[in-house]
Amino acid sequence: MNAATEQAVVIWPLLLFAAGALGLIVFMLGVSAVLGGRHNSRLGNEPYESGIKPTGSARMRFSAKFYLVAIIFVLFDLEVVFIFSWAIAAPALGWPGYFAFLFFLGVLTLGLIYEWRIGALDWAPKAPRQYRLEAIESNRRRNLDAKPR
């Protein structure tokens, strides 16, 4: 077989797949345009909220804390994928794989402790009383350190 024939043999499934995907997209858009409903009533253009009348704007502002907790959740959720794959391959990995897994869990635990200590997992802001107590404690520590002995 010459080089041109080998290349054609390799590329034709890709071209067939691309043509099929584009054909499916055109077909789905065409069918929805022909069979889709067309009405411009006031109620038809409003979002459906499970029978509840929508109030306010959909452009609500979320706290950055929400996004931080969401990112942390995704991070630890991905770690579960690694733990699951290790559990499947554990018999083949043996003791070195077990110790590597323990190291991985240790790093993961240290990361969780760090995030907990910096307050990344706290949903609610501190109450004003907690701020006052922390200020009193820090002043007391400062005064104890400043006293001559």
- For residue 136, what is the domain's CATH number? 1.20.58.1610
Beta carbons within 8 Å of 65's beta carbon, 6+ residues apart:
122, 123
Beta carbons within 8 Å of 112's beta carbon, 6+ residues apart:
76
Domain coverage including residue 96 = 62-149
Give the rounded distance of the alpha carbon of 87 from its chain centre.
23
The answer to the question of residue 54 being in a domain is no
More confident residue, 137 or 130: 137
The structural domain count of the chain equals 2
What confidence score (pLDDT) does residue 59 get?
77
Give the rounded distance of the alpha carbon of 96 from its chain centre.
31
Among the listed residues 41, 115, 32, the one whose alpha carbon sits nearest the alpha carbon of residue 72: 115
Whether 149 shows a pLDDT value over 60: the answer reads: no
| Mean pLDDT for the stretch of residues 40-66 | 71
pLDDT one-digit tens code per residue, 71-88: 888 888 888 888 888 889
Same domain for 26 and 87?
Answer: no
The reported pTM is 0.45
Same domain for 32 and 85?
Answer: no
Q: Which residue has the tokens 């006293």?
A: 147
Whether 62 shows a pLDDT value over 80: the answer reads: no
